[in-house]
Structure 1
Amino acid sequence: MVGRVTEIVTERLVLRPFVEADRQAVLEIQTDPETNRFNPRPPDAATTRLTFDSWLAHWAELGYGYLAVRERGKPAAADGSDVIGMTGVRKRDFRGEKVLNLGYRFRPSAWGKGYALEAARAAVEWAEREIPEIPVLISVTVTNEPSLRVVEKLGFTKYQEDVYDGAMSRHFRR
């Protein structure tokens, strides 16, 4: 059994499992037009609610998944308003293979601070330590240059490029 994540603390961030109180923060982040600049099919509120439900179910079933991210040193908020983004890995089927999909998305107010790299690095390190038998994969739209820079800094290498989830995408592994 995988060691359940309770909290991952980095130099500047705290990553923790999502809880119901984070629903509004996730809705704001996931449906923000700025965070979807490279998404050919941006999620609406109803889709985001279903996605969040699936994140909670993934946690309940497997004991890991996508994580809420907040700034370290700032007070935690019971209503989830301290959530600046998300990262983590989620089990998925990719072309017939079980993989851990690395995801990250942050509020625009958190951009340009290196938070995506810091949070994603911590999530990947956890996944590679706790679930080494399942490879970590990340899929990025080819036009999403900021995300492609994060992938490169994480040490992932391109292994495939094709249309995925409605857009030409690059798929990376370490």
Structure 2
Amino acid sequence: MTQQRTTSRLILRPPRLDDLASLFAIYGDPATNQFNPSGPLADIHKAEALLDTWLKHWRDKGYGQWTIATVANPDEIIGFGGLDARLYLDTERLNLGYRFAASAWGQGYATELSRAALEYGFAELAVPEVFAVVRPAHMASIKVLEKIGMQLVETLDDVPGQAQSLVYRVGR
């Protein structure tokens, strides 16, 4: 697995089994899911399944979602995010994604993580492009994606009965 990475304020490391409680706290929080059509994780078993998919992605591909803490408080997990291979309906793309605890919002962490993830993808994975999917009402995440240079390229009809998701892309 790739070594831990740091930015000026963040520690980014591969997830571990002992991250389960933090993952469930963040992904099970209704506040962090207000734009997620499937809503918060209902129970710890769903969190275990999500963590298992992340660990498998790391084993299979050598990269994936990072566990995020601050340099100032390395023992407190504030979120999860990074790059992973994800299906956009039937097309696999390298996807940038993140979810932060509500207590970490509004401090620029999503932008800092996203810049580090793009740098990693372009410099170390040598990928030609990175994508992100965002719900159309999620203005905070749209602003992050635009701030890091991503551009709206298409929509994705991935949530039946709801407005189409927006697909952003940035090239190397």
Could you tell me the TM-score, scaled by structure 2's length?
0.90
Q: Any residues of structure 2 matched to 1:11-90 within 5 Å, and which?
A: 11-42=8-39, 43-45=41-43, 46-74=45-73, 76-77=74-75, 82-90=76-84
Partner of 1:140: 134
Distance 1:63 1:11 in 2: 24
Alpha-carbon RMSD: 1.6
The Cα of 1:149 is off from its aligned counterpart by 0.6
1:171 aligns with 2:167: yes
Partner of 1:115: 109
Consecutive unaligned residues of structure 1, counting only runs of 5 or more, are none
The Cα of 1:126 is off from its aligned counterpart by 0.2
Say if 1:162 and 1:97 are closer, same or farther in 2 by CA, change over 3 A.
Answer: closer
Distance 1:56 1:71 in 2: 22
Deviates more, 1:88-97 or 1:24-33: 88-97
Q: Any residues of structure 2 matched to 1:97-108 within 5 Å, and which?
A: 97-108=91-102
Deviations 1:15-69 (A, max 9, x none): 0000111011001101100000111111322322211110011111111100011
Total equivalences in the alignment: 166
The Cα of 1:96 is off from its aligned counterpart by 4.4
Distance 1:85 1:36 in 2: 13
Consecutive unaligned residues of structure 2, counting only runs of 5 or more, are none
Work out whether residues 26 and 101 of structure 2, in 8 Å CA contact, stay in contact via their aligned partners in 1: yes
Aligned residue for 2:35, secondary structure, equals coil
Say if 1:49 and 1:165 are closer, same or farther in 2 by CA, change over 3 A.
Answer: farther
Q: Output the amino acid matched with 1:22.
A: D
The Cα of 1:163 is off from its aligned counterpart by 2.2
The Cα of 1:6 is off from its aligned counterpart by 1.0
Distance 1:146 1:161 in 2: 18
Distance 2:18 2:25 in 1: 13
